[in-house]
C-alpha cells in the first residue's frame, strides 16, 4: 500500500492560503498589489464586517482578457516573471502567482475585468466558489479589474475562528492602506467601510525631479495623518562600497543607492516603532537593521525609550535585495546588510545636520531689528525717557568656544548685570505647534518662526536649573544642565575628530578571556578602541590584556566593561561603531562635568551659555535626547488659565 499520495489541487491551494492569507488585511494587500502592478491610477477598497463578509478591490488598470482571467486563477500563473533568473531581480509587487488561487480557495470570489486597450467593449466575469469555477460569462464593465471576496474562510472554520474582532481586523486593513497610500501619492485611493467612505485621497501629480517627489510625499503624509508634523526631508545618494560579491555584474549593479523621504524633526518621537514606515523600491517592509540604523542616526537627539517617526524610501537595484524570504513578503534581506545600515544612518544624520544649518542660514538677520517686548511699568516710569533694550546680533556663526575646564568660566565683568537683556538667537528649532510671530516681516508672513529665532529676554532662573526667558509669543524655558551638556559634547566631539582620546594606564592590567566568537569580533576592533583610549591587546587565542581606559571611565569590573563594549559595538554596526562608541563615552563624560541644578550662574554666564548653544549643530537636545529648551506660547498660557477654550 502506498503511503505517499499527491494532494488534491483544492487542498494544496488551502495550504498555500494558510501561508499567504493570514487575515482579511492579507487579502487586501495581495489584491491592491495586483492593482499596482496593473498600473492603476485609481484604486477603491470596500470592506464590510472588518473584511469577514466582503472585500472588494476595484482599479482602472490594464485589465485582462477572458483567457488571462481564467489563467490567473491557476496556481503559479503570473505575468510578472518568466525564468528563474527573474527571481534575482524582482521589480513588481507580486510574482508567485499564488495569491488569487489561494484566496479563491477559501472564499466566494467574483472577478470582473475588461482590457483597457482592447477594442472589445465587453468584459468578463468569473465566479469561483471555494476554489471551483462555477460560472464564466460576459459582463459590462469599465476598463480595469474588480475582485470581490465574500465570506472569507467560509470553508475553513478552524481559520475563521482565529480572526479577531471586526475593529481589530479593520485596523490591520487601514494600516496597510496607509502604507500603500504613502508609497504611491500619484494614485488616488478611496476606502469604504460598511458602505461609508472613510478615506478619500486624490492623486497627486508627481514629476520626476527629487524635489517634486518629496513635496508629493509631504502632501500625502499630511493628508493621511491629518496633521502638520514638523518633518525633515531626506535625500541622500551614494555608492555602496566594499561589495563582497565576486560577480562583477552583480557588484556594479548594486553600487548605486538612494535614501529619500521624511523623518521627524528633533523633538518628534513615539514610544514605539509603529510610525516608522520603511519602503524598499516602494514595497513596505520590515527590517531590524534599518530600524537600528534610524536610531543610530538619531542616537543623541532622542531620549532613551523613544523612537523616530519616518516615511523613508530606499531605492536600490532589485538584484541587491531578496523579497522572497517571507510568504507574505513583509521582510526583505539585503545582500550588503551592513553597508545598507551604514548608509541609512548617514542619510538620517546628514538630513538632521542640513535641517539645522539651512534654517540657521535662512534665519540670520541682515540687519538688527528692535522688537518691542511689553513690560509692566509704573506711571512714574512711563514719564521717563524710553530706552530700547540692547540687541545682540552675532553677524556670523562662530566656532564653539573651547572652555579650558569643565566649569563655565566666570566672566570678568560687572557683577550686577542689566535687568533687561535681549538675545537675538537664530538657532533654527521649529517645534510642533509653533506659531507665526506677529512681528514677522511681510516676506515671512505665514511661516513658522523657529524657537530661538525670535528675540528673547532673560528673566531669571527657577530652582537654580531652569532659565526663564520671554519672547514676543510666550514663555521659554531652558534647562541649563542639558544646554551645557550639548555645548560640551560638541566641543569634545571636535577634539575627537582632531585626534585621539587620552587614556589612563591601569595600576594592574587585567586579562580578559572571551568566547571564540566575541574574541574574533574584538580583534577587528582593537585599533578604533585604542583611538578611543581603551588599551586592549591580544594576549592569546581568546585572551586580551586590558591596560588602559579613558580617564573619565570608572570601572571596577574590567571584564564586564569589555563585554559591554562588545555588545555596544555589535549593536551599532561595524562601520559606525568607533564613532558611535566614542560619542557614548563623551556623552557620559559631559553629563558628569556639565553645570548642575543648584549651580548658580550669573547673567553674563547664562548669556554665554545661550550664545554657545546657538552655534551647536544640534542645539535642540542634550546628548541623551532630552530637550534643552521648550516653549509655551500665549495661546497655551491662555488655555491653561481658562481664557480660551
Is pLDDT of 388 > 50?
no
Give 286-290's long-range contacts (Cβ < 8 A, gap of 24+): 286/330, 286/331, 287/331, 287/332, 287/334, 289/334, 289/337, 289/338, 289/340, 289/341, 290/314, 290/340, 290/341, 290/344
Q: So what's the pLDDT on residue 136?
A: 96
The confidence band for 256, taking pLDDT boundaries of 50, 70 and 90, is confident
Q: Buried b / exposed e across 169-182, counting CB within 10 Å, b at 16+?
A: bbebbbebbbbbbb
At residue 62, the 3 state secondary structure works out as coil
Least confident of 128-142, 234-248, 308-322, 524-538: 234-248
pLDDT tens-place string over residues 360-380: 554 444 433 333 333 333 334
Three-state secondary structure of 278-341 = EEECCEECECHHHHHHHHHHHCCCCCCCCEECEEEEEEECHHHEECCCCCCCCECEECCHHHHH
Q: Averaged over 252-264, what is the pLDDT?
A: 80
In which band, very low, low, confident or very high, does the pLDDT at 554 lie, cut at 50, 70 and 90? low
Cell 520590515 belongs to 286
Which of the two residues, 638 and 598, has the higher pLDDT score?
A: 638
How sure is the predictor about 463, in pLDDT bands with cuts at 50, 70 and 90?
confident
- How many percent of the chain have pLDDT more than 90? 31
Other CB atoms within 10 A of residue 463 CB: 7
Which pLDDT score is estimated for 441? 35
How much of the chain, in percent, has pLDDT values that exceed 70?
A: 73
Distances 566 to 337, 418, 518, 574 between C-alpha atoms, Å: 19, 53, 7, 11
pLDDT at 305 over 50: yes
Closest CA to 555 of 535, 579, 577: 535
Model confidence at 401, pLDDT cuts 50, 70, 90, reads very low
Angle between helices 577-593 and 480-498 (to 10 degrees): 140
Q: For 47-79, how does the pLDDT look when each residue is reduced to its tens digit (9 = 90+)?
A: 999 999 999 999 999 999 999 999 988 877 777
Q: Does residue 17 surpass a pLDDT of 50? A: yes
Q: Alpha-carbon distance 332 to 335, whole Å? A: 10
Comparing C-alpha atoms, which of 470, 463, 459, 505 is closest to residue 606? 459
Using 50, 70 and 90 to split pLDDT, how confident is the model at 381? very low
Q: What is the pLDDT of residue 361?
A: 53
d(CA 479, CA 597): 9
Q: What is the pLDDT of residues 98-154, one digit of tens each?
A: 788 889 999 999 999 999 988 888 999 999 999 899 999 999 999 999 999 999 999
| Helical segments of 449-557, H only | 480-498, 516-523, 526-531
590 band by pLDDT with thresholds 50, 70 and 90: low
d(CA 63, CA 508): 77
Q: How far is CA 183 from CA 275, 279, 280, 312, 589, in A?
A: 14, 7, 10, 9, 43
Nearest to 294 by CA among 317, 321, 316, 314: 314
Report the alpha-carbon distance of residue 512 to residue 531 in Å, rounded.
20
| Owner of C-alpha cell 535641517 | 355
The CA distance from 314 to 323, in Å, is 14
Cα–Cα dist 532/298, whole Å: 21
Say which residues have a Cβ less than 8 Å from residue 107's Cβ, sequence separation at least 6.
Answer: 27, 130, 149, 150, 151, 152, 153, 154
Least confident of 151-155, 227-231, 412-416: 412-416
For residues 311-336, average pLDDT: 83
Whether 36 has a pLDDT exceeding 70, the answer reads: yes
Stretch 383-402: mean pLDDT, rounded? 36
pTM over 0.85: no
The answer to whether 409 and 403 have CB atoms below 8 angstroms apart is yes
Is the pLDDT at 640 greater than 50? The verdict is: yes
State the pLDDT at residue 144. Answer: 96
| d(C-alpha 166, C-alpha 266), whole Å | 37
Highest mean pLDDT among 195-209, 246-260, 442-456: 195-209
Task: Give the pLDDT band of residue 327 (cuts 50, 70, 90).
Answer: low
Q: Which three cell numbers stand for residue 196?
A: 461609508
Neighbours of 553 (CB within 10 A): 16
Pairwise CA distance, residues 113 & 215, whole Å: 34
Most confident segment among 334-338, 343-347, 368-372, 452-456: 343-347
Is there a contact between 52 and 194 (Cβ–Cβ < 8 Å)? no
Model confidence band, residue 89 (pLDDT cutoffs 50, 70, 90)? low
Q: Residue 437 and residue 423: Cα distance in Å, rounded?
A: 16
Using CA atoms, how far apart are residues 560 and 334, in angstroms rounded to an integer? 33
Q: Give how far the C-alpha of residue 600 lies from the chain's centroid of Cα atoms, to the nearest Å.
A: 39
Rounded mean pLDDT, 265-292: 88
Amino acid at each position: 500500500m502506498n503511503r505517499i499520495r499527491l494532494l488534491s489541487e483544492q487542498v494544496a491551494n488551502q495550504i498555500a492560503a494558510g501561508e499567504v492569507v493570514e487575515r482579511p488585511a492579507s487579502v487586501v494587500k495581495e489584491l491592491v498589489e495586483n492593482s499596482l502592478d496593473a498600473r492603476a491610477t485609481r484604486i477603491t477598497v470596500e470592506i464590510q464586517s472588518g473584511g469577514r463578509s466582503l472585500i472588494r478591490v476595484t482599479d482602472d488598470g490594464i485589465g485582462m482578457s477572458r483567457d488571462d482571467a481564467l489563467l490567473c486563477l491557476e496556481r503559479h500563473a503570473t505575468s510578472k516573471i518568466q525564468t528563474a533568473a527573474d527571481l534575482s531581480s524582482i521589480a513588481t509587487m507580486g510574482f508567485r502567482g499564488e495569491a488569487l488561487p489561494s484566496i479563491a480557495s477559501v472564499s466566494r470570489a467574483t472577478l470582473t475585468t475588461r482590457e483597457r486597450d482592447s477594442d472589445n467593449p465587453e468584459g468578463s466575469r468569473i465566479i469561483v466558489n471555494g476554489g471551483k469555477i462555477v460560472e464564466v460569462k460576459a459582463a459590462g464593465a469599465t476598463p480595469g479589474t474588480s475582485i470581490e471576496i465574500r465570506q472569507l474562510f467560509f470553508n475553513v472554520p478552524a481559520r475563521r475562528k482565529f480572526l479577531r474582532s471586526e475593529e481589530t481586523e479593520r485596523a490591520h486593513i487601514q494600516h496597510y492602506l496607509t502604507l500603500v497610500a504613502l508609497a504611491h501619492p500619484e494614485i488616488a485611493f478611496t476606502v469604504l467601510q460598511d458602505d461609508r467612505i472613510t478615506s478619500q485621497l486624490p492623486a497627486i501629480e508627481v514629476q520626476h525631479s527629487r524635489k517634486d517627489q518629496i513635496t508629493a510625499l509631504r502632501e500625502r503624509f499630511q493628508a493621511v495623518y491629518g496633521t502638520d508634523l514638523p518633518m525633515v526631508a531626506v535625500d541622500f545618494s551614494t555608492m555602496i562600497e566594499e561589495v563582497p560579491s565576486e560577480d562583477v555584474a552583480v557588484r556594479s549593479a548594486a553600487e548605486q543607492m538612494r535614501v529619500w523621504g521624511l523623518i521627524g524633526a528633533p523633538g518628534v518621537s513615539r514610544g514605539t516603532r509603529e510610525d516608522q514606515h520603511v519602503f524598499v523600491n516602494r514595497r513596505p517592509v520590515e527590517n531590524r537593521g534599518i530600524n537600528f540604523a534610524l536610531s543610530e542616526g538619531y542616537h543623541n537627539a532622542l531620549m532613551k525609550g523613544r523612537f523616530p517617526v519616518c516615511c523613508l524610501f530606499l531605492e536600490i537595484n532589485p538584484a541587491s535585495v531578496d523579497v522572497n524570504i517571507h510568504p507574505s513578503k513583509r521582510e526583505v534581506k539585503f545582500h550588503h546588510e551592513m553597508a545598507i545600515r551604514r548608509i541609512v544612518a548617514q542619510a538620517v544624520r546628514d538630513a538632521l545636520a542640513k535641517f539645522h544649518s539651512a534654517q540657521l542660514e535662512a534665519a540670520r538677520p541682515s540687519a538688527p531689528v528692535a522688537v518691542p517686548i511689553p513690560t509692566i511699568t509704573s506711571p512714574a516710569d512711563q514719564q521717563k525717557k524710553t530706552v530700547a533694550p540692547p540687541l545682540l546680533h552675532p553677524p556670523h556663526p562662530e566656532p564653539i568656544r573651547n572652555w579650558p575646564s569643565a566649569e563655565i568660566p566666570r566672566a570678568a565683568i560687572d557683577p550686577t548685570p542689566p535687568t533687561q537683556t535681549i538675545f537675538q538667537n537664530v538657532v533654527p528649532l521649529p517645534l510642533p505647534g509653533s506659531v507665526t510671530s506677529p512681528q514677522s516681516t511681510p516676506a515671512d508672513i505665514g511661516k513658522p518662526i523657529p524657537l530661538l529665532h525670535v528675540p528673547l529676554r532673560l528673566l531669571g532662573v527657577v530652582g537654580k536649573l531652569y532659565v526663564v526667558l520671554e519672547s514676543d509669543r510666550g514663555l521659554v524655558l531652558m534647562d541649563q544642565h542639558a544646554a551645557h551638556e550639548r555645548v560640551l559634547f560638541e566641543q569634545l566631539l571636535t577634539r575627537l575628530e582632531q585626534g585621539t582620546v587620552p587614556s589612563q594606564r591601569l595600576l594592574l592590567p587585567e586579562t580578559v578571556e572571551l568566547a571564540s566568537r566575541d574574541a574574533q569580533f574584538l580583534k577587528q576592533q582593537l585599533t578604533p578602541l585604542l583611538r578611543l583610549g581603551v588599551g586592549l591587546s591580544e594576549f592569546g587565542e581568546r585572551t586580551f590584556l586590558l591596560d588602559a581606559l579613558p580617564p573619565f571611565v570608572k570601572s571596577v569590573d574590567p571584564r564586564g566593561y569589555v563585554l559591554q563594549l562588545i555588545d555596544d559595538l555589535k549593536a551599532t554596526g561595524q562601520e559606525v561603531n568607533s564613532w558611535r562608541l566614542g560619542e557614548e563615552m563623551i556623552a557620559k563624560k559631559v553629563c558628569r562635568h556639565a553645570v548642575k541644578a543648584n549651580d548658580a550662574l550669573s547673567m553674563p554666564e547664562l548669556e554665554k551659555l545661550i550664545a554657545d548653544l546657538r552655534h551647536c549643530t544640534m542645539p535642540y537636545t542634550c546628548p541623551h535626547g532630552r530637550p534643552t529648551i521648550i516653549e509655551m506660547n500665549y495661546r497655551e498660557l491662555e488655555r491653561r488659565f481658562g481664557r480660551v477654550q
